[in-house]
Amino acid sequence: MLTVLGIVAVLAAQSSVPVRSPYLDAVRRYGPGTEREAIVALRAVRLRDADQVFEELDEKVCAAVGARGCRPAQLVAAGRESQAAVAATWRRLYPRALALHVEALAACDPTLELAAMRLHLTVLLRLVLRIEQVAREHRDVPSEFAQVATQGRHLTLWVLQYLRDVNGLAEAVETFEAVKIPAFTSGSGVEPLRDVDLRLARGALEELRTLPEAVMQSVRERALSDNLARDTRLAREERRLLTTAVRAYEALLVDHPAVLEAHLRLAGLLLRLGQPGQAHTHLARVGVLGPDTRQTYLVALFLADVYERLGRAAEAMDAFAVAQRNWPGAQTPAIGLARLRALSGAHEDARSALAALHLEPAAGAPERSDPWWGYIGGQSWRLPAAMAALQARFEAEP
């Protein structure tokens, strides 16, 4: 999945601490155009557990400079040059390891590779916390290194949303919620870093729990009364889960009322609950806050749904047209327009709306895409830019 994201990085062959191993070779191999090679190399290592990763990233690196361990006092005892060499190696290897395990997790088949997914997730959670610890405890590592951990938090949360891994996302959210995010220094002193993205991930988790298969699982686990018809039980459980998701976004907006993504996703949930008026309020709020092209497109789609529910078909068609202008070539507004025109009896117009979907893109034109396809993946649409930002932090091997 992430091998086509256009990630930019610099990868050299040698570390200042000359530690080699199949695992570290896979980490060093990771770079632009070599993602698949690195994943294949990582799989060939056949990791048994996350401890192996930290044996390679920490213990072997520290032992190579004569330190008895990686704790600050042990590195101090090893000498100033040893401390600097270990810190420099960590700055190079940890960001690459983060990126590689994100790639490897994204490449897993959720129906067949549960053990591998679990392993990569465990590694990612420990890597994030380890980077925060290193940034906090080791004087030779700049404080900005903690920003790599923040990037790692986001990438972990977003790749789990991409995979629609409810259990994995729940573990990641709960792990990061339980550990305070390190403070950052601002002009007014030290302030707690409020991670809006973590709270968006909490909302995304509750949304994933409203998917049909998750609702069915919830009904089974809660052993809801068999006296009710199956469809009634499912409908009631879906409504309960939707309400929980709504509350997650509402709580976020109490503290951060300008988060466009929260308004957008809350509107989608309210539509599913049959509350178009409230959904419209949040969609209007997105428009005021200055959405980007993707958000404008999704707002138009939701507005079309609002207007249709309110019996205002002409305005719904206008909204689909706005969506088309913002994201040319997307299939969702074309299908929506065709459906509404067909319902109104304008069958030729409906066929015209669908005709463009059967045409091959012109030579040199960008491939067709549709933000709606990724909407169910929460914030996973942010993965490409986030991976590029992480790789921009890569340091070249000496």
Tell me, yes or no, whether 306 and 322 share the same domain: yes
Residue 222: the pLDDT is: 74
Tokens representing residue 134 in the block:
């290193």
pLDDT in tens, 320-343: 999 999 998 899 999 999 999 999
Each residue's pLDDT tens digit, 361-377? 555 545 678 999 889 89
- Assess if residue 66 is contained within a domain: yes
- Give yes or no: residues 160 and 264 share one domain: no
- The amino acid present at 227, given as its one-letter code, is N
268, 239: one domain: yes
Residues in the chain: 398
164, two tokens: 């629609």
**Nearest alpha-carbon partner for 295 in 312, 282, 278, 313:** 282
Question: For residue 372, is it within any domain?
Answer: no
Which structural domain, as residue segments, surrounds residue 273? Answer: 201-288
Residues with pLDDT less than 50, the chain:
1-15, 183-193, 365
Report which of 170, 21, 18 is spatially closest to residue 97, judged by C-alpha positions.
Answer: 21
Same structural domain, 71 and 132: yes
Position 179 scores a pLDDT of 83
For residue 306, give the nearest of 293, 320, 316 by alpha carbon: 316
Q: How far is the C-alpha of 30 from the C-alpha of 40, rounded, in Å? A: 10
What pLDDT sits at residue 5?
37
Residues 233 and 130 in one domain: no
Co-location of 44 and 126 in the same domain: yes
Q: Which amino acid appears at position 357 of this protein?
A: L
Contact indicator for 148, 131 with CB cutoff of 8 Å = yes
Whether residue 68 contacts residue 43, with contact meaning beta carbons closer than 8 Å, is answered with no
Q: Using CB atoms within 10 A of its CB, is residue 348 exposed (0-12), middle (13-18) or buried (19+)? A: exposed
Q: CA 227 to CA 230: how far, in whole Å?
A: 9
**What does the alpha-carbon distance between residue 213 and residue 232 come to, in Å, rounded to a whole number?**
16
Query: Same domain, yes or no, for 253 and 272?
Result: yes
Are 181 and 258 within one domain?
no
Give residue 237's pLDDT: 87
Task: Kindly state whether residue 162 falls inside one of the protein's structural domains.
Answer: yes
Residue 31 pairs with which residues in a beta bridge? none
For residue 334, being part of any structural domain is answered with yes
Q: Hey, is 214 helix, strand or coil?
A: helix
The residue from 155, 173, 193 where one domain ends is 193
Domain end call among 160, 193, 226: 193
Residue 394 lies in a domain: no
In this structure, is residue 273 part of a structural domain? yes
Query: What is the CATH classification number for the domain harbouring 303?
Result: 1.25.40.10
**Residues 209, 322 within the same domain:** no
* The amino acid at 155: L
Alpha-carbon distance values, 53 to 26, 42, 238, 274, 283 (Å)? 11, 11, 40, 49, 45
Based on the domain organization, do 184 and 220 belong to the same domain?
no
What is the count of structural domains for the chain?
3
In this prediction, residue 341 carries a pLDDT of 93
CA 93/CA 27 separation, integer angstroms: 7
Structure confidence at residue 239 (pLDDT): 93
Name the residue with tokens 């601002």.
186
**Cα–Cα distance, 114 to 105 (Å, whole number):** 10
In a domain, 340, yes or no: yes
Of 176, 193, 210, which marks where a domain is finished?
Answer: 193
CATH of the domain at 223: 1.25.40
**367 located within any domain:** no
Give the model confidence (pLDDT) of 117-169 as tens digits.
999 999 999 999 999 999 888 888 887 888 999 999 999 999 999 999 999 99
Question: Are both 170 and 315 inside the same structural domain?
Answer: no
pLDDT score, position 46 = 93
Does one domain contain both 73 and 51?
yes
- Identify the pLDDT of residue 363: 53
